[in-house]
Structure 1
C-alpha cells in the first residue's frame, strides 16, 4: 500500500483536527444535556450528538488510513453534522452553542476536504 505524500498528510491535518474537535464538543454537549432541568426535552439533541460523534470518529479513521471509502463516509458525516448543528443551534445552553459551532467548523473542513 502506498504511503501518503507529505502534502496529503498536511491536507488531512485540518479535517482531522476539525473532526476531533467536533467529537469532543458533541460528547460534552450530550453529557451536559443530561444535567439540564428537563433532560427528556433534550433527547433529540443527545441522540444527534452521539450520532455525530460516532460518524466523526469513523470518518477520521477512514481519512487517516486513506480508505477507498472515505468519500462515502465523509458525505454521511457532512449530513449528520449539519443535522446536529441545526438541532444544537436551537438551544440557548452554552454547551449546545459550542457544539453547533464545532459542527459548523467540521462541516466546512469536511466540505473543503471533499472538494
Structure 2
C-alpha cells in the first residue's frame, strides 16, 4: 500500500475503534442492557480487531490482507447490529463500521 493510503486506513480504523468503544460504554448505560447484549459483544469484537489491524499495519505485517478481510466482516456485522438501534451512539457506530469495512475491503 502507498503511504498515504496507509494513513487514511489507519485513521478510519482508529475512528471505528473509538466509535465502537464509545458505543460499548454507552450501551452498558442503557435502560435495557439485556436488549443491547449483541451490540455490546460486537462493539468489543470490532474495537479489538480494528485496534489490532491498526497495530499490524504499522508493524508491516505480511498478514494485512487476511486481517483486513476478517476486520471487514466484523465491521459489517457490528454495523448491521448497531443500525438496528435508534440510539445516537449506535447510529454513529454503524456509520463508522461501514466506512471501516469499506476501507478494509480495499486492502483485503
The equivalences for 1:1-115 within 5 A come to 8-114=2-108
TM-score (norm 1): 0.89
What RMSD in Å do the two structures reach over aligned CA positions?
1.1
What stretches of structure 1 move > 2 A for 4+ residues in a row?
A: none
The structure that has the greater radius of gyration is 1
Structure 2: stretches of 5+ with no match in the other structure: none
- Aligned length in residues: 108
Whole-Å Cα distance in 2 between the matches of residues 58 and 70 of structure 1? 10
TM-score for the superposition, normalised by structure 2: 0.95
